[in-house]
Structure 1
């Protein structure tokens, strides 16, 4: 590795999607990554943090490159500053909000399958609660009723989380990158919700799904009885493989290695 890229990602708490940034950039593109605050960063990738970039524009001493980033919602002003170079953004909702044409679309978390080999399947179902849903009463009830349930903690090291997701026959997730990684490995999955919604509600999920040429899935409120065999078989049967290979190729081509 020669070049070092100063990159921003949210790290107020350990969280799956954000922590994928250095792994994907270093392992797939052969550069070093150093995390810095948004005002000093030259690259921003996985995460819903374009609103943070918009707020830091006035303090920026140099250009910043955007690769696969999105907004958490559409209530922030779009970024129109000349120092921001968009190479890829997460989805069509962010694209419309930013008034951008001709930019690559997709979440770089879809490249997860290139970081680890898929392990053997050892769990019928994995549940990936969002950070704010880990202690939800339905999660606790599900643990008690279904001892073979694999509850996957998004605060663990991303490599461990990726392997756990890939080892499941079906994944239910209220965390966006639980779904993204499941799609990356081709694991049938279902978007679920809990009483406490993630920051931004459904907007970032719909942004992610907008890149596929198929109707977006409908979220389902999570209940422990969803873990019964018949319910899981329905999830697996309804799942349609997404066009991840096409999006992966586009994201790799769009990475601005020679421009930073």
Structure 2
């Protein structure tokens, strides 16, 4: 348990190599006033099956890094992989950072790993003196994730200020098509976290009438193709006839099984 601490201008606030950690009610901060300044990790977790909770902290001008650099055999080998980490109800703030800065970095040191239980909920993310592209990032210096195996990823109810991408999964999205087609292609690249694949669609609901080329209402439901496009971050809705209109869908970057 790591709680009720205040740390300023350390290179790292804490490096936790074990599991079953509770990090709560701390304030650690770094940074400087230079434009596009670099930042180091404030909290580093080096166990894949982390079983850790990080909650109600003030994480200021630094980031959380999750790695497996202490694993003597870092490739995936029938393990739990990167799993059982909860980040909730934290205040994330940074100023004068480069636009590629992120508040969460996951860095697999071996091939074949995936996310297997990660909850990032109810956090506040804010940038002052500029903006950043997104809050989360996979560092592929050594290896990338197996995105087809992702499961148990919940990235919801966070707030974003001066951050271009509002990452969310599951994600509710309203899509409108003005011309009739029986094959709708919808990109979710600007919404799913970790550049993840559009793995599953939980629901599709028409908002108002769907109409055909003659302007007549069509009472039909589509079926779904997930993991479409070159980056597998698109979905396709297939209709029994060409239609146009508006739908709200709910999609995920992980496998629902």
Task: Report the TM-score, using the length of structure 1 for normalisation.
Answer: 0.25
The higher radius of gyration belongs to: 2
Higher strand share: 2
RCO higher in 1 or 2 (8 Å CA, sep ≥ 6)?
1
Structure with greater proportional helix content: 1
